[in-house]
Structure 1
Amino acid sequence: MKNTKKTANKLPVPGKVRKGFRFYCAAVLSVALVFGCSVTAFAANDPIAVVNNLSDFIFGLIRAVGLILLGWGIVQVGLSFQSHDPSQRSNGFLTLAGGIVITFAKEILNLITG
C-alpha cells in the first residue's frame, strides 16, 4: 500500500521578501492606526446631552447583549424539549428570564427610579 500522506510543497521565501513583507504590514497597520485615532470629536454645548447620549449608547449595547441571551435561551429551551433533559430545560428558562431582564434593563430602571 502506498503512503498517501499529503505533504505541502511550500516554495522557499527569500529573506529580503520576508523582510519587505514585514515592513509592508507594519506600514499598513501604522497608517490604519493613525487614521483610526485621528477622528475629530465635536463637543456639544449641553453637557447633559452628552451624558444622555452616552447613556443611550451603553443601554443600547446592554440591550444587544440581552437579545443575544434571549435568543440563546429560546434555543436551549427548544433543545431541552427535544431531548427531554430537565436540567437543560431549567438552564434554558433561567437564560431566557435573564435575557428578558437584561433586554428591558433601561425600562426597569426607569420604573424603579420613577
Structure 2
Amino acid sequence: MKYFNKKNTQNKETTKLPMTGKLKKGFRHYCVAVLAVTMVLGTSATAFAANDPITVVNNLSDFIFGLIRAVGMILLGFGIVQIGLSLKSHDPSQRANGFLTLAGGVIITFAKEILTLITG
C-alpha cells in the first residue's frame, strides 16, 4: 500500500498565485477594514453617564492614572530583569541602566500618589 508518491518529489516547484492589481487593492482594503473593526470593537468600553461633571473628570483621571500605573509596573518588571541579567554577566553599565529603569518604574507607578502629596 503506497501512501506517498516518491518519484516526483524532487522536481516540485512552488509558484505564487497570480493576483491582478484590482485584486491586491481590494485585499488591502479588506485587511484595513478588518483591522479597523477589530480595533473599534476591541478598544470600546461602556461609558456610564453621570449627572455631575466632576465625577466624569474624576473617572477619566482614574482611568488615565490606571494606564500610567500599568506602564510603570511594566518598567518596574523590566528594571528588575535588567538588574538580574547585569548581576549574572557582571556588566556595570547594564546594572546602572537597570537601577535607573527600576527607579523610573517606581516613580511612574506611584505618580498619582506623588502628585497628590505635592499638591496637598
TM-score, normalised by the number of residues in structure 1: 0.72
Gaps of 5+ in 2: 1-11
Unpaired runs of 5+ in structure 1? 1-5
Residue number in structure 2 paired with 1:83: 89
Aligned Cα RMSD in Å? 3.5
Secondary structure at the residue paired with 2:107? Answer: helix
Please report how far the alpha carbon of residue 43 of structure 1 lies from its aligned counterpart in structure 2 after TM superposition.
Answer: 3.4
**1:100 aligned residue (101, 106, 118):** 106
Deviations 1:25-81 (A, max 9, x none): 17945x939x76xx9865321000000001001101110110111011001100100
Residues 24 and 102 of structure 1, relative CA distance in 2, 3 Å threshold: closer
1:1-114 mapped onto 2 (5 Å cutoff): 8-13=14-19, 18=23, 21-22=26-27, 25=30, 28-29=33-34, 32=37, 43-114=49-120
Q: Could you tell me the TM-score, scaled by structure 2's length?
A: 0.69
Q: In structure 1, how many angstroms separate the alpha carbons of the residues matched to 2:118 and 2:93?
A: 33
